[in-house]
């Protein structure tokens, strides 16, 4: 039986490490793909009556690459939190938050707020 050199063992070791890193990266990417983008509106609750024309929309967006509020881009922090202040018109206001992930899958949430 032929004895393998130390160089062969080193190459096998680094080859296995490389394959492990690729496998780990693939699992992480497939998890993002499987879950897709997610939006949660924290406040205000949809359907409420407001007496003030300015309202702060607060929420959280996970696994998104682009996000808009009524078609205008908004910014999220590192944890996915966002906060935008909008001016309501008298009557029913429909606010739409839309997001897209890096795989171009889209999700949206709609708020209906009544300003008196």
Same-domain status, 48 and 103: yes
Sign of CA dihedral 63, 69, 72, 76: negative
Q: Quick check: helix, strand or coil at residue 18?
A: helix
Same-domain status, 1 and 44: no
Same-domain status, 71 and 108: yes
Higher pLDDT, 102 or 2: 102
What residues form DSSP beta bridges with 57? Answer: 84
Same-domain status, 69 and 21: no
Distance, in Å, from the CA atom of 94 to the CA atom of 9, rounded to the nearest integer, reads 64
Helix ranges, the chain (H)? 6-35
Same-domain status, 22 and 69: no
- Host domain of residue 79: 36-115
Same-domain status, 27 and 69: no
Structure confidence by residue, pLDDT tens digits, 43-80: 999 999 999 999 999 999 999 999 999 999 999 999 99
Same-domain status, 104 and 64: yes
């Amino acid at each position: 039986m032929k004895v393998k050199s130390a160089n062969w063992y080193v190459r096998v070791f680094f080859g296995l490490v490389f394959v492990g890193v690729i496998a780990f990266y693939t699992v992480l990417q497939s998890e993002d793909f499987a879950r897709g983008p997610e939006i949660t509106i924290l406040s205000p609750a949809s359907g409420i009556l407001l007496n003030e024309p300015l309202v702060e929309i607060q929420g959280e967006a996970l696994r998104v690459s682009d996000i808009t509020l009524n078609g205008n881009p908004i910014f999220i922090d590192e944890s996915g939190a966002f906060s935008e202040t909008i001016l309501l018109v008298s009557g029913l206001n429909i606010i739409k938050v839309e997001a897209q992930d890096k795989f171009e899958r889209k999700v949206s949430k709609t708020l209906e707020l009544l300003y008196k």
